Amino acid sequence: MNKAPTLPKTLTKILPYSLLLFALLMGACNGDEKNKTTDAVVVRLEGAPNNMNAYLTSSAYSLYVGNQIFQTLGNLDPNTLEMKPLMVKDIPTVRNISEGAYKGSLAYDFEILDEARWDNGTPVTANDVQFSLKIIFHPGLPTQNWSSFFQALQAVEVDPANPKKFTVYFKEYYMLALESMCQFFIYPAYHYDPNNLLGNIPLSDFLDKAKITALAATDNNLKAFVEEFNQPKYANEKSAISGSGPYRFESMNDQAVTLLKKENWWGDKLAAEVPMLAVYPQKLVYRVVKDEAAAENMLKTGDLDIVTGLNAAKFIELKSNAALTEKYDFVNNGSIQYARWIFNLRSPKLSDVRVRRALAQVVDYDYALKTVLQGMAQGIVGPVNPAKSYYAKDLKPYAMNIAAARQLLAEAGWADTDGNGVVDKMLGNQKVEMSLDLLAPTTNKINELMATSLRETALQAGVKINVIGTDINKITADTKSGNFESAFLGAQLFPGHIELYSRFHSASLTPAGDNRTAFANARADSLIVAIRTTPDETQRKELYRQIQHLLYEELPEVPLFAPLQRIIVAKKFDYVLSANRPGYYEQMFKIK
């Protein structure tokens, strides 16, 4: 955190009166200047949020914004990355159940803060927790990404004497059981289910997959809830978006999302004793600025307070600008994501692993790391953060080797039979060229440079890459629906245990899950489940090593690099940055 300097005591007695007079004079003289210095934080987003119903969006930008509207039971401390209480009194420790109906289960006891309230003044209760889990397990909603974290969930029992107390039971060990319970959005049942359509269906029915699937086909209330919950108003209407968080939704368009701090928000009175509830800005503005030149101009005019996502060369260039360094800090933080080239394994061109291994060797990684990213990134072998103790250090990141790529393509039956520089092969009764579409968010300079480089180097091996520059939201939607051949798509490197189920297990195939590549491998499935359910850390590390080796060999995606965070932040704030994604806790920014 950047801290303001300490002033001599004599000055601190005088300054408040001087500053008040100054503020009054400035306000009287220039209303526009006053508006520019109000307690607001303006964040640059590279893509537009498109849906403020957090359970129905696949956009990371929507979820970032939604974090300020909806709350979870706990959150990661920005510095230690340890789970801390947010809506509950304590983060519970596990209890082993040795008798009764849940014998052999693992239990966690939660108690929601007495002060926690919804926008209508009613208390947040365990009923809202159960309601939110019903949303996650509703077979008529696209929420499998969420439910995959709760497969071991057995029951949620509410204390009959206190509706804010509840116990969660897991039928077996799951490494992310506590983290999952602490980090899903709690929705107000009264607001998102005004007709109590789910109220008479117990959570136990939702946790029984066969039972809830059968019910969904016949129960009119379950069907009606899907229709209600999918209403556009919950995605973009000011009066229909409601959570227990510190901010209320004000407006959204393709240029910005604006949130306003709630008056008399319940968490303010607890911030001193519950640090994660600390919230300072009266307004959060998320400006959609896709173009780097536009972001640069807005930095120069002071119209942005937090900027991420600039390419490395531009970051270094701006950092050398003395006028900017007077107003902004330029910060490099640890890797929180990695860039990847994902393949659609449904395509006959990409079904042969030898083709995928060839494609992994047409990427100019040195150019990416040294030129595009100016050394502010590292090579990576898979979906595990290189800082983790279980990262597969015995593997080497792929390197460009055009000759090896040509050889692998030839072994897979691809040859340039017509001399046009692109290899081809008979697939069925048709000659098909190795021409691949690449979806890339080229408004980002890094992706533009990488796509251009890949198009040139791949052709040396006889592979034609057709770069289709498009918006990240469209890439997200197309890869989710399976409407693609290959794409550049970032992925998160989780600060805790890495959960691979949603992206690599065959039960998580899109559109229900997040396995966009259609990767289905029995050995991978077995390893992923074992990682989730193995309590012994040494054994789990070995399982992580094995799955990294398998993904490295099978290549449903090519891991390109893990970039260091490049964050530009206005010096006028005491600010909070973090290795947790997206790299900053904007609600904790405080005007000096």
pLDDT digits (tens, 9 = 90+) for 353-393: 999 999 999 999 999 999 999 999 999 999 998 888 899 99
> Percent of the chain having pLDDT more than 70?
94
Per residue, what are the HEC states of 408-428?
HHHHCCCECCCCCCCCEEEEC
498 vs 109 pLDDT, higher one: 109
Give pLDDT tens digits for 124-146: 999 999 999 999 999 999 999 89
- Work out the angle at residue 357's Cα, subtended by the Cα atoms of residues 353 and 360, and round it to the nearest 5 degrees: 140
How far is 38 from 123, CA to CA, in rounded Å? Answer: 32
The answer to whether 201 touches 134, Cβ cutoff 8 Å, is yes
CA dist 53 and 232 (Å) reads 9
Q: What is the dihedral of CA 418, 419, 420, 425, to 10 degrees?
A: 50
Please determine, for residue 200, whether its predicted confidence score (pLDDT) is greater than 80. Answer: yes
Answer whether residue 107 shows pLDDT above 90.
Answer: yes
Structure tokens at 477: 């939607």
Distance of CA 378 to the CA centre of its chain: 20
- Asked if 367 and 377 count as a contact pair (C-beta separation under 8 A), the reply is no
Burial label, 46 (beta-carbon count in 10 A; 0-12, 13-18, 19+):
buried
Question: Can you tell me the mean pLDDT for 412-425?
Answer: 97
Tens digit of each residue's pLDDT (9 = 90 or more) over 57-70 = 988 899 999 999 99
Task: Output Rg (C-alpha) for the chain, integer angstroms.
Answer: 26
Q: What is the predicted pLDDT for the residue at 389? A: 87
Q: What average pLDDT does the segment 202-213 reach?
A: 97
Kindly give the pairing relationship between strand 435-440 and strand 464-469.
Answer: parallel
User: What number is the average pLDDT over the span 501-524?
Assistant: 94
Q: With bands split at pLDDT 50, 70 and 90, how would you rate the model's confidence at 307?
A: very high
**Per the structure block, which two tokens stand in for 341?**
């080239």
Judged by DSSP in three states, 486 sits in strand
Angle between helices 353-360 and 537-554 (to 10 degrees): 90
Please tell me the predicted confidence (pLDDT) of residue 26.
35
- How far, in Å, are 41, 134, 177 from residue 285 at the CA level? 6, 32, 34
Q: Which domains does the chain have, with CATH numbers?
A: 36-47+238-333+567-591 (3.40.190.10), 54-236 (3.90.76.10), 335-565 (3.10.105.10)
In DSSP notation, 256-309 reads EEEEEEPTT-TTGGGTTTSGGG----SEEEEEE---HHHHHHHHHTT--SEE--
C-alpha torsion sign, points 147, 148, 153, 154: positive
Ordered DSSP codes for 527-560: HHHHHHH---HHHHHHHHHHHHHHHHHH-SEEEE
Between 343 and 535, the higher pLDDT residue: 343
| Placement of tokens 């490099």 in the chain | 332
Give the model's pLDDT for residue 581. Answer: 83
How high is the pLDDT of residue 38? Answer: 54
pLDDT at 549: 98
451 against 14, higher pLDDT:
451
The structure tokens listed for 488 are 């550049």
Which H or E element spans position 134?
Answer: helix 126-137
**Residue 555 buriedness (CB in 10 A; 0-12 / 13-18 / 19+):** buried
18 — pLDDT class (breaks 50, 70, 90) = very low
H/E stretch holding 435 reads: strand 435-440
User: Mean pLDDT across the stretch 494-506?
Assistant: 88
Return the pLDDT at 108: 98
The residue behind tokens 């997200």 is: 476
The answer to whether residue 455 scores a pLDDT higher than 70 is yes
- Average pLDDT of every residue of the chain: 91
Do 450 and 341 contact (CB within 8 A), yes or no?
no
Task: Answer for the pair 109, 95: CB distance below 8 angstroms, yes or no.
Answer: yes
